Structure 1
Amino acid sequence: MGNIFEFKQFSVNQEGCAMRINTDGVLLGAMTDHSNVSSVLDIGTGTGVIALMMAQKFPNAHVYAVEIDKQASERAKENFENSSFSERLTIINSDIFQWENDMRFDLIVSNPPFYINSLHNPDQRRKVAKHTDVEFFQGMFKFAADHLEQHGSLQIIVPVELLDKLIEEGKSNGLHLQKQIDIQSFTDSQPFRSILSFGRENLKLVQDNFIIYKERSQHSDSYKTILKPYFLAF
């Protein structure tokens, strides 16, 4: 994959970014769903791709994107400025937990670092981008509890192994799992990611699954449908 990834309504320059555009990110961006969205926060925006997808999906929303890595935040800023959504996109180069603000958001999204307690990548920038400890998720849920509007939603994509831990962490911050979409490569394979939606209301859990491929190297119709508004290939 080259440095420039062309979407239907914007392009993303990935040069110098520790984490490039990946399936997790575009699935979260495409499958995020919420009503009456006027403010969105993308935690750990990287190249800015999810924030750009949010700006396309929610045409009346202002999208804020926080990124701790300075080089990545500068690249995201460039991508934002080169898009037709530039007036509705704001980049913040900061650790999310050190970003002092009193804002509230209708929607908070994140393709967060993960692999808790796993072997950390020796490259420091990729380590920050791709790995974390349990404290990150504790902090993220606390931040969401403090900054979500009353009917706001926190939506994240994570490995299925983290599900129980995150449900408990959400509850301890007054956020309940409201929707769970399990991601599978094929119909006969086990889920490897889950898109989780948390909110303040303790609603009946909505569960679904999503298949990426109908056969090897051939995307499912569902995958093509949700990414058709974004991908040139579809």
Structure 2
Amino acid sequence: MGSVFKFKQFVVDQGNCAMKINTDGVLLGGWATEANVSAVLDIGTGTGVIALMLAQRYPGAAVDAIEIDEVAAQQAAYNFEVAPFTNSMQVLEGSFEAYQDSDTRYDLIVSNPPFYTNALHNPDARKKLARHADAPFFEKLIAFVAAKLNDNGSFHCIVPTELADWMVATLLPMHQLFLQAELEIRSFAEEPVIRKILKIGKEEKRLQQDGLAIYAERGVYSEAYKTVLKPFFLAF
């Protein structure tokens, strides 16, 4: 993949980002929806791709994007500047904890977080920062979300299956949050679930569960995958 990725309505230059555009991120951006969205927050925006997908989906919504890596933050800011959207878009450089005291609340919060918990650390410092997180990170993340989410809003994140189940069982009850929907993602229909996208909110609702296989066969994307990304991808 080159440094520039062209979508239907915007372009993302990812040349200076340690973590490039990936399947997890675009699936999250394609699936994350909420009613009456006027304020969006993307935590760990990287290239800015998810924030841009949501700016396309919600014209006029204010979109904030937090990024701890200085170079990636600059890259995302550039991608926002050249985007054709009328949204108010800004990058907030630093950790999400640095914005804990802000009074801003959001209707939709998204995150494609680092989740290589307990994995062998990457020797590249920037990739290590982008990829690795331990349990305390997710404890702080959920606490932050609970503080920043509007009562009718929702938080969407994509994580591996075991991590998703631990978050739901352990972290959500601590902050009076509820799992409202989940999408189980497989590479192929007959294979185990490798990721879950969780929709979390402050209201307890009947759980909506669905599944998606990325490939119909080797090298061929499934119709479900193409449907999620059709509004954004040129190829679909």
Instruction: Report the TM-score range of the alignment, normalised by the length of the smaller protein.
Output: over 0.9
Question: Residue 197 of structure 2 corresponds to which residue in structure 1?
Answer: 195
Question: Residue 125 of structure 1 corresponds to which residue in structure 2?
Answer: 126
Q: Structure 1: how far apart are the matches of 2:164 and 2:21?
A: 24
**Aligned 8 A contact 1:80 1:86 in 2:** no
Q: Structure 2: how far apart are the matches of 1:87 and 1:161?
A: 36
Q: Structure 1: how far apart are the matches of 2:87 and 2:159?
A: 30
Aligned residue pair count: 234
- Residue by residue, what CA displacement relative to the aligned partner does 1:73-117 show, whole Å, maximum 9, x if unpaired? 000000000001264211111111112411100010000000211
**Aligned 8 A contact 2:186 2:192 in 1:** yes
Which of 171, 184, 187 is matched with 1:185 structurally?
187
Runs of 4+ more than 3 Å apart: none
Which of 192, 206, 209 is matched with 2:208 structurally?
206
**Residues 169-178 or 73-82, more deviating:** 169-178
Tell me the CA shift for residue 60 of structure 1.
3.1
Q: Structure 2: how far apart are the matches of 1:65 and 1:201?
A: 25
- Residue by residue, what CA displacement relative to the aligned partner does 1:30-77 show, whole Å, maximum 9, x if unpaired? 011110100000000000000000100111311100000000000000
- Aligned CA distance change for structure 1 residues 32 and 38 (closer, same or farther; 3 Å): same
Which of 167, 173, 178 is matched with 2:175 structurally?
173
Question: Residue 139 of structure 2 corresponds to which residue in structure 1?
Answer: 138
Trace 1:28-177 onto structure 2 (pairs within 5 A). Answer: 28-85=28-85, 87-99=87-99, 100-167=101-168, 168-177=170-179
Q: Structure 2: how far apart are the matches of 1:224 and 1:209?
A: 14
Q: Structure 2: how far apart are the matches of 1:18 and 1:80?
A: 18
Tell me the CA shift for residue 163 of structure 1.
2.0
Aligned CA-pair RMSD: 1.0
**Residues 77-86 or 148-157, more deviating:** 77-86
Tell me the CA shift for residue 226 of structure 1.
1.5
**Residues 23-32 or 86-95, more deviating:** 86-95
- The code of the aligned residue for 2:208 comes to V
Q: Structure 1: how far apart are the matches of 2:121 and 2:159?
A: 17
**Aligned 8 A contact 1:37 1:60 in 2:** no
Any stretches of 5+ residues in structure 1 without a counterpart? Answer: none
- The code of the aligned residue for 1:58 comes to Y
Any stretches of 5+ residues in structure 2 without a counterpart? Answer: none
Give the match's secondary structure for 1:212: strand
